[in-house]
Amino acid sequence: MSKSKNFSSDESWDRWNTHGTTMVEQEVFGSVLRFRQDPSSEHLGTTVWDASVNIRKGEFARAKMRGKKAIELGAGMGLAGMAFAMVGADVVLTDTLDVLDLLRINYESNLSPAAVRLARGHQHGTWADSAGSVVVAELDWTQVAQATTPPLHPPYDFVLAADCIYHETLTEHFHRTVMDITNDKSTVVVCNELRSHSVQGRFMELFTATHTIKSIPHSKMDEKYQHPNIFIYVMKKKKHSKAADKVEDAEGDGDALAALTCEDGGKGGGGAASVGEASAQGPGQEAQ
């Protein structure tokens, strides 16, 4: 979901990228993807942010991703969803109408059939030999019917979201959308920057009632791009409502994390944090 440029953040953060640039490059699985941005846009959805870079740095089990249905909510420039497509998932990149033109340009440049053929021609035995399909579609979380209307065809095996949770009202719509497009076998991967403790608290309140939540340790994120204010949560719907307060240990459940394990950036390993630990880790300040 697109974000307008009206919030405060950690000004001391030496970000990898900002909304002031017109073009950025990211290496993904041995290839360089190029993303156009629009510095004049009033929406931060036209920027590739650090949270999406952390999702793309995940090491995905290709055999488990191939042929899976995935959707990225609030895709922005589409980096996270494209990374999933590069390991074989069939991905729908979604955002609001005012972001779609630029999202489509980046899709055409990087993961369109023509772009994949070009990548395959340059080097065999790469991701291009088994890439999944990519579709760009409009999805406004506030419009209930859109989530279940073609070209969207839920339920999805994977739901991705990078830096989409920044306002309490949108958090409600995001939760409802996730509920509408998933079943108890779906895996939801949310990488979010802590901008507001109240928003973070509402996110946790909504999802702990309906999902088990695993927090990926910062030691398992990319050493270059991770930040204390960035969190990755892997979530699955609870099968029984009586489990409302249950949070599973990552080492005790291979299902949700079987197809998603993050790189160990040279540091020690670590299991998933509890919901309480996950919500308390971030030192970020309340948005003004």
Give the mean model confidence (pLDDT) for residues 103-124.
90
DSSP the chain: ---BS-----TT---S--TT-SEEEEEETTEEEEEE--TT-SBGGGS--HHHHHHHTEE--HHHHTT-EEEEET-TT-HHHHHHHHTT-EEEEEE-HHHHHHHHHHHHHHTSHHHHHHHHHH-SSSGGGS---EEEEE--TT-GGGGGSTT-----SEEEEES---SHHHHHHHHHHHHHH--TT-EEEEEEE---HHHHHHHHHHHHTTEEEEEPPGGGS-TTT--TTEEEEEEEE-SSGGGTT----GGG-HHHHTT-EE---SS----PBPHHHHHHS--PPPP-
Sequence ranges of the domains in the chain? 23-280
pLDDT of res. 104: 96
Give the tens place of pLDDT for each residue, 77-90. 898 899 999 999 99
Looking at the domain that runs over 23-280, which CATH code has it been given?
A: 3.40.50.150
Most confident of 15-19, 67-71, 117-121: 67-71
Give the tens place of pLDDT for each residue, 268-287. 344 444 444 444 344 333 33
Give the mean model confidence (pLDDT) for residues 152-179.
93
